A and B are shown apart, each in its own frame.
Chain A
Amino acid sequence: MNYGRELLKGNTDSLLLCLISREPTYGYQIVKELQKRSNGYFQFKEGTLYPALHRLERDNLITGKWQILPNGLQRRYYYITERGQQVLAKRLATWQDFSTAVKAVIQPETT
């Protein structure tokens, strides 16, 4: 089992919600943004993004809308919903607590 991959799998929804909450965006842009912000750490089969987006949309955390770009191409932009913002706020708070606790445990004790 790849521990890093498992961690990513468990947190994909939160990462997506976080990116979408910053600005409405579409699939390919999300992949690029995740790679850019993580300095290439998050590498995954790009196709797995779409089931995750549709799952979030089904749970009413985000909503998708087709929009025409200035170059005439159509892309499906995702927007965070009010419920999505509430869920994200809760998850971020939990993550902060968890991260603080993990750091406190693993860092060497100072005497």
Chain B
Amino acid sequence: MVSSISHYLHRFKASLKIDHTIRDGVAAELYAHLEDKSRELEENGLSKEEASKIAVQSLGSPELIAEQIYETHAQGSWKEAIFSALPHLLVALLFTSYYWQNIVYASIILALTVGIAIYGWHQGKPIWFFPWLGYYFMPVVVSGILLLSLPQGWGWIAALIYIPLVLFVFIYIMRQTARRDWLYASLMLAPMLVTFAWFSSLGRGNELLASDWAARLQTNALWIVISFIALAAATIAFIRLKPRRYKIISLLIPPLVVLFAVITASGGNICSWSWLLLLFSLSAFAIPLWMQARAYE
């Protein structure tokens, strides 16, 4: 392949953050176009190098084509948008009453989340799958925390095996997701980060988890519901909006809502460890977006 054509296609692929099968298909079409155009120009007497340069110029900016192709494929349907927001709405529903304390309701939602995440994985990871995947990780993280409470040192031994294993799987899935699109990694991380942010509000003094945490959680239920509804609304906006910059903006709204909600609900009365956890959780929202910005440089 002539260097100007391969450089053009490389720029196009690097700018187009969608499913790699679609991306490779469009790149193959552009390559076919460049091949035809170059051949025609060569038949008119131009050198191979000149012909490919003119062919590339006649196609126009690869970044612009990538942006327009992205807008065509990036907008999910309303059905996908609602289904993506559904896990957030289900969690909000858990907190609208005392459902989160009811083991039956909580188990049903947990089983549903795990089942749908596995189904989405086998369906080729469609866009609606990523928020569900975020919740799928929740019990995995909670199990790790519970392992620490096993008796007489067993907890630490189990954690030493469990935590690296979970981290390995988590990083593997994050890399897979980010390779497709960093913004999908944000979509996946969002429920975990909102949960950690609210967890941070349950401490008091130097305690990370105050003894009356369940009562405090229930007292803050309205703000928690608002947080998850904000996440649901942002997810719908993310799926339905076409331009990539609007998608990015939609993902920055939930952390602001959560920060406001946590501070208002706790009256700022949370321990220093909790502040650290809260700020880390909310700033982590920006990590995939920051990675995205770096990719554009």
Does A24 belong to the interface (CB within 8 Å)? no
Once bound together, how far apart are the Cα atoms of A108 and B69, in whole Å? 45
**Do B59 and A51 have beta carbons less than 8 Å apart?**
no
Interface contact B32-A45, CB-CB below 8 Å = no
Contacting residues, chain A, for B61 (C-beta < 8 A): 47
A27-B29, A27-B33 known; A46-B73 Cβ under 8 A: no
| Pick from B37, B58, B72: contact of A58, CB under 8 Å | B72
User: Chain B residues near A31 (CB, 8 Å)?
Assistant: 33
Among B30, B59, B71, contact of A45 (Cβ-Cβ < 8 Å): B59
Q: Given A51-B65, A54-B26, A46 and B59 touching (CB < 8 A)?
A: yes
Assess whether A55 is interfacial by the CB under 8 Å rule.
Answer: yes
**Chain B residue with minimal CB distance to A28?**
B36
| A34 CA to B68 CA, complexed, in Å | 21
User: Closest approach, in angstroms, between the C-beta of B196 and any C-beta of chain A?
Assistant: 37
B35 at the interface (CB under 8 A from A): yes
Cα–Cα, bound, A104→B126 (Å): 52
B65 touches A48 (CB 8 A): yes
Q: How many residues of A contact B (CB 8 A)?
A: 17
Chain A CB within 8 A of B64 CB: yes
Q: Which residue of A lies closest to B31 (CB)?
A: A74
Q: For the complex, is A50 an interface residue (Cβ under 8 Å from B)?
A: yes
Please measure, in the bound complex, the distance between the C-alpha atom of A37 and the C-alpha atom of B296, giving whole angstroms: 40
Q: Contacts A54-B72, A58-B72, A58-B73 known; A47 to B37 CB distance under 8 Å?
A: no
B62 located at the interface, meaning its Cβ lies under 8 Å from any Cβ of chain A in the complex: yes
User: CA separation between A63 and B121, bound complex, in Å?
Assistant: 27
Q: How many angstroms from the CA of A27 to the CA of B69 in the assembled complex?
A: 15
Interface residues in B, total, Cβ within 8 A: 22
Q: A45-B58, A45-B59 are in contact. Are A50 and B32 (CB under 8 A)?
A: no
Q: Which chain B positions have C-beta within 8 A of A58?
A: 72-73
Pair A73/B65 contact, Cβ less than 8 Å: no
Residues A28 and B69 in contact, CB atoms below 8 Å apart: no
Instruction: Flag if A50 contacts B60 (CB, 8 Å).
Output: no
Establish whether residues B32 and A47, one from each chain, have CB atoms under 8 Å apart when the complex forms.
no
Q: A55-B72, A58-B72 are in contact. Are A50 and B30 (CB under 8 A)?
A: yes
Instruction: Tell whether A48 pairs with B69 under 8 Å between CB atoms, given A28-B32, A76-B32.
Output: no
**Binding site secondary structure of chain B:** helix
Minimum CB–CB distance from B161 to chain A (whole Å) comes to: 47
Q: Which A residues are CB-close (under 8 A) to B58? A: 45-46
> Which residues in chain B, 18-77, are within 8 Å of chain A measured between CB atoms?
25-26, 28-30, 32-33, 35-37, 58-62, 64-65, 68-69, 71-73
Interface residues in A64-111 by Cβ distance below 8 A to B read 73-76
Closest Cβ of chain B to A74, distance in Å, is 7
Is the CB–CB distance between B30 and A47 below 8 Å?
yes
Q: Which residues of chain B are near A46, meaning CB under 8 Å?
A: 33, 37, 58-60
Q: Whole-angstrom distance from the CB of B195 to the nearest CB of chain A?
A: 35
Q: A27-B32, A47-B30, A73-B32 are in contact. Are A54 and B60 (CB under 8 A)?
A: no
- With a cutoff of 8 Å between Cβ atoms, the chain A residues found around residue B26 in the complex are 50, 54
Shortest beta-carbon distance from A48 to chain B in Å: 7
Q: Among A28, A51, A55, A76, point to the contact of B37 (Cβ < 8 A).
A: A28
For A55, what are the chain B residues with a Cβ–Cβ distance below 8 Å? Answer: 72
Q: Are A54 and B73 in contact (CB under 8 A)?
A: yes
B200-230 CB contact bits vs A (8 Å, 1 = yes)? 0000000000000000000000000000000
Given the complex of chains A and B, what is the CA–CA distance between A55 and B30 in angstroms?
Answer: 16
5 closest A-B pairs (Cβ-Cβ)? A45-B60, A51-B68, A47-B59, A47-B60, A28-B36
- The contact sample of 5 A-B pairs, CB cut-off 8 A, is A26-B29, A48-B68, A50-B69, A55-B72, A76-B29
